[in-house]
């Protein structure tokens, strides 16, 4: 009996143990299967998320490339526009040069006294008759002699001739008009600025003068102020010159034909304008061609540059 009781007790204990282990395994299986399924769903969502991120990044990169492509196209387009603008500027400059040349070679007209009419006649040739007042000469300096052919050849260059002197401005009483004007008689070298060094050219009798109407100037940057006390003028200020000499604010440049032997050399009107537009045209169109080729290679042929 004791043996049977002990066997029964052992069997009951073993059965209980096995039952508990079976329940644990079942429970573990019950909780394990959903986890495996959950992991599978999570992996699928992660893969889908990664694929979505990759697609979004690709679209963003494509959008950036498209923006860069059309933005860089602005460079050749802008340079082409600037080159075309310079073509038009060159045509305008050539027309202006032709107009100035026509005015300075036209037949001279009598000097009008109407200030409004004079303001519209700059560079127009006029003729006057009268006498110089050499006692009130003014000197615009430093100046170099005008050589129209040389200036046309060297227009826009920074080099200049080493010769320096002054333009002699002399009051001129117009006997037929009854007024006194200012006449730029022309250029004298530095050693001939003083009147006593060129007495042969200081004529006292009445003379005919043909010249070009000039208007007052505004002082340009870096140009010194006029020194009235020392009689050193750097730009044409008709009001100040009129106050000093008592002449009317009318100014003409005497032409070369009005030159008196031994006196200042006339024809000192500078009508040559800087015309560098062809250089600008070549520069802008050259940049347009170069940048257009680079754009084509980069975005059309897809070659790395």
- Annotate 93-119 with DSSP letters as a single string: HHHHHHHHHHHHHSPPEEPP--HHHHH
Cα distance between residue 208 and residue 206, in whole Å: 7
What value does the mean pLDDT of the chain take?
80
CB 269 within 8 A of CB 104: yes
In a shared domain, residues 157 and 250: yes
Q: Is residue 54 part of a domain?
A: no
Neighbours of 124 (CB within 10 A): 19
Lowest mean pLDDT among 111-115, 189-193, 227-231: 111-115
**Residue 88 pLDDT:** 94
Q: Is residue 289 part of a domain?
A: yes
Cα distance between residue 127 and residue 252, in whole Å: 10
C-alpha 146: how far from chain center: 28
Q: Is residue 111 part of a domain?
A: no
In a shared domain, residues 82 and 134: no
In a shared domain, residues 182 and 227: yes
Q: Within 13 Å of residue 211, how many CA atoms lie on the same side as its CB? A: 28
In a shared domain, residues 132 and 176: yes
Q: Is residue 115 part of a domain?
A: no
Cα distance between residue 263 and residue 258, in whole Å: 10
Q: What is the Cα Rg of the chain in Å?
A: 47
In a shared domain, residues 250 and 125: yes
The tens digit of pLDDT for each residue in 136-186 reads 999 999 999 987 555 444 444 444 455 789 999 999 999 999 999 999 999
In a shared domain, residues 150 and 195: yes
Cα distance between residue 218 and residue 7, in whole Å: 131
Cα distance between residue 251 and residue 247, in whole Å: 10
Domain that residue 280 falls in: 74-105+275-305
Q: Is residue 27 part of a domain?
A: yes
In a shared domain, residues 266 and 281: no
In a shared domain, residues 192 and 259: yes
Q: Is residue 51 part of a domain?
A: no
C-alpha 61: how far from chain center: 37
In a shared domain, residues 265 and 294: no
Q: Is residue 170 part of a domain?
A: yes
Q: Whole-prediction pTM value?
A: 0.64
Q: Is residue 61 part of a domain?
A: no
Phi, psi of 219 (to 5 degrees): -60, 130
**Predicted confidence (pLDDT) at residue 27 exceeds the cutoff of 80:** no
Phi, psi of 112 (to 5 degrees): -80, 150
In a shared domain, residues 136 and 159: yes
254: tokens are 């005497």
In a shared domain, residues 138 and 264: yes
In a shared domain, residues 124 and 250: yes
Number of domains in the chain: 3
Cα distance between residue 96 and residue 78, in whole Å: 27
- Rounded mean pLDDT, 86-103: 87
Neighbours of 183 (CB within 10 A): 26
- Rounded mean pLDDT, 260-280: 87
- Surface-to-core class of residue 119, CB atoms within 10 Å of its CB (0-12 exposed, 13-18 middle, 19+ buried): exposed
CB 169 within 8 A of CB 184: yes
**Residue 38 pLDDT:** 38
- β-partners of residue 165 are 143, 189
């Amino acid at each position: 009996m004791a043996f049977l009781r002990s066997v029964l007790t052992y069997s009951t204990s073993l059965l209980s143990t096995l039952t508990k282990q079976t329940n644990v395994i079942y429970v573990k299986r019950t909780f394990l299967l959903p986890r495996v399924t959950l992991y599978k769903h999570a992996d699928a969502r992660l893969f889908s998320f990664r694929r979505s991120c990759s697609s979004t990044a690709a679209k963003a990169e494509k959008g950036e490339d498209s923006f860069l492509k059309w933005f860089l196209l602005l460079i050749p387009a802008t340079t082409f526009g600037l080159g075309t603008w310079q073509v038009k500027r060159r045509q305008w400059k050539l027309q202006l040069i032709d107009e100035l040349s026509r005015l300075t070679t036209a037949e001279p007209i009598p000097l009008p006294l109407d200030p409004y009419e004079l303001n519209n006649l700059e560079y127009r040739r006029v003729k006057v008759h009268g006498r110089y007042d050499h006692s009130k000469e003014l000197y615009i300096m430093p100046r170099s002699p005008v050589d129209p052919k040389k200036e046309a050849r060297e227009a826009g260059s920074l080099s200049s001739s080493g010769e320096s002197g002054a333009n002699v401005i002399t009051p001129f009483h117009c006997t037929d008009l009854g007024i006194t004007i200012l006449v730029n008689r022309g250029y004298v070298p530095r050693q001939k600025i003083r009147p006593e060094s060129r007495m042969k050219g200081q004529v006292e009798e009445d003379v005919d003068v043909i010249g070009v109407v000039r208007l007052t100037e505004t002082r340009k940057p870096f140009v010194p102020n006029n020194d009235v006390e020392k009689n050193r003028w750097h730009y044409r200020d008709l009001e100040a010159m009129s106050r000093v000499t008592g002449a009317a604010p009318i100014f003409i440049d005497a032409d070369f034909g009005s030159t008196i032997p031994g006196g200042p050399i006339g024809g000192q009107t500078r009508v040559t304008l800087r015309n560098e537009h062809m250089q600008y045209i070549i520069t802008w169109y050259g940049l347009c061609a170069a940048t257009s080729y680079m754009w084509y290679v980069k975005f059309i042929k897809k070659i790395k540059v």
